[in-house]
Amino acid sequence: MSGGAGLEYLFLTCASLVRIDGVTTAYGASARLGAIVPTRALGRLGYDARTYSVTGDPALAEEAVRDAKRIVFGEMWEMKDGWAGPAALYRRLLEPIRDRRERVVFSIADDHFDDRHFLGFYREALPDCLAVTVVSQTLGEKARTLTSRPVLVAPEPVEGARGAPQAIAVRYLPRPVAWLARRVGLSMDHWRVRLLWYGYPQNLPPLLELVPALEEYAKRYPLLLTCVTRRLPGIEALMTPARVHQDSRLRVHFVPWSPTIMDPAIAYSDLVVIPSDYRNPVKQAKSPNRLVAGVHGGRFVVAHPLPAYAPYAGFAWIGEDLCEGLDWAIRHPREVIGRIVRGQAYIGERHAPEVVARFWLDLFHPKN
C-alpha cells in the first residue's frame, strides 16, 4: 500500500500481512478483526480505508501516516527483541503527528502491561490521542489507569458466512459393532461426537489440561477433536500416536489454520470447545471473538468462564466443567438450537462488519 492525498482512515498493524489462498490476511486475530476486516467494511460503505503493516517499508509507512486523516495504531506484536521493537516503530510514526487528539486512536487487544516496554509506550502515548479502544471491559479498566481520554470497548467483526444452526444428533455405536469395526479396520468417525477447537498455539495449555477429562468422557461417546491452529512445536504434545489412531475413543485431528478453513471446519463440527486459563488475571482481559465465531458459524459453544463471555452466556454453555457442558448440549438439542438462533441475532446486531465499521465512524467523528 502507498499513501495518497485524501486517505481517510489508516489502520496500522505490527503484524505481517500474508497472502493465503488468494486472500490478504494475517495470522493474528487482532490484526484481522482490529484492522483488516474493518478496513474492508469501511471500503464497502464508500470510504477510503486501508490497512498497513509497519514491518514493511518504513518510508511508505511514514508517507501513509502523513497523508491519513484518521489513524488507528493497532495491537502491537512482540518481535525478536520483545516489545521494544514495535514500541520504537510506533514512536517513530507518532513523532511528527502534532494533532494527535484529532487524528490518532490506539487499539489494544491483549494485556501485556507487565512488560516495561509495552507499558512504557502506552503510558507515554495514551494521554495524547482522540480515544483508546480495547476488546473487553477488563482490559479497559487497565487502560483507563493510563489516560483520561475516552476508552471504549470496540466490537470485533465476525469473519466468514453465518452458518445454519445445528445441534448434535448422537450416533450411538453398540459395543459389538465397535468391536467389529476395529477388527476389519473401519473408521469410527461416523459415530463420533465431533468437537472443534481453534486458537493460537499459546492457547494450547488449557486444551492439554482438558484432554484427560475428554478421554474419560469418550468412554461414553467416542469423540473426534479437530484442532485448527498453526503448526508449532507445542502441537506435538497433543498429537500423540494413541490419540491419532483410528480406533481411539478420543481421536485428535490437526488442521493448519488458513483464512478459508474456518467455515468448513465449523460446518463439519457438532460442538465448539474453548478451554482457557480463566483464573489467570491476564487472560481475563481476553475478547469474546472465539466464542462469537462459533455461534456465528451455527455451532454451540462450550467454554470456560471469561468476563467477556458474560453477555453471551444465554447463547452458549459457560462454566468450569466443560465435559458437563458437552453432556448438557448432547442431551438438550432443541434448547441448543434456540440458543444459537438467539445468539446469531445478537451477534448480527453487534458484530456484523458494517456495524463495526459504523462504530469506527462514530468514534472518528464524535457527535457532541
Among 3-17, 196-210, 302-316, which stretch is predicted with the lowest mean pLDDT? 3-17
- At 242 the pLDDT is 79
Q: Which CATH class is domain 175-350?
A: alpha beta
**DSSP assignment letter at 110:** S
Q: What is the CATH number of domain 9-157+352-364?
A: 3.40.50.360
Report which of 134, 161, 154, 156 is spatially closest to residue 145, judged by C-alpha positions: 134
Domains of the chain, by residue range, sit at 9-157+352-364, 175-350
256 or 244, which is more confident? 256
Report pLDDT digits (tens) over 248-261.
889 999 999 888 89
Amino acid 1: pLDDT: 40
CA–CA distances in Å: residue 8 to residues 72, 82, 95, 117: 11, 32, 20, 30
Confidence band, pLDDT 50/70/90 cuts, at residue 217 = very high
Mean pLDDT, rounded, for 48-70: 91
b/e burial code for range 340-349 (CB count within 10 A of at least 16 → b): beebbebbee
Q: Identify the helix (H) or strand (E) that includes residue 91.
A: helix 84-94
Q: Give the pLDDT confidence of 69-95 residue by residue, as tens digits.
A: 999 999 998 888 899 999 999 999 999
Q: What is the mean pLDDT of the chain?
A: 91
Q: Are 262 and 198 in contact (CB under 8 A)?
A: yes
- Lowest mean pLDDT of 29-43, 113-127, 158-172, name the range: 158-172
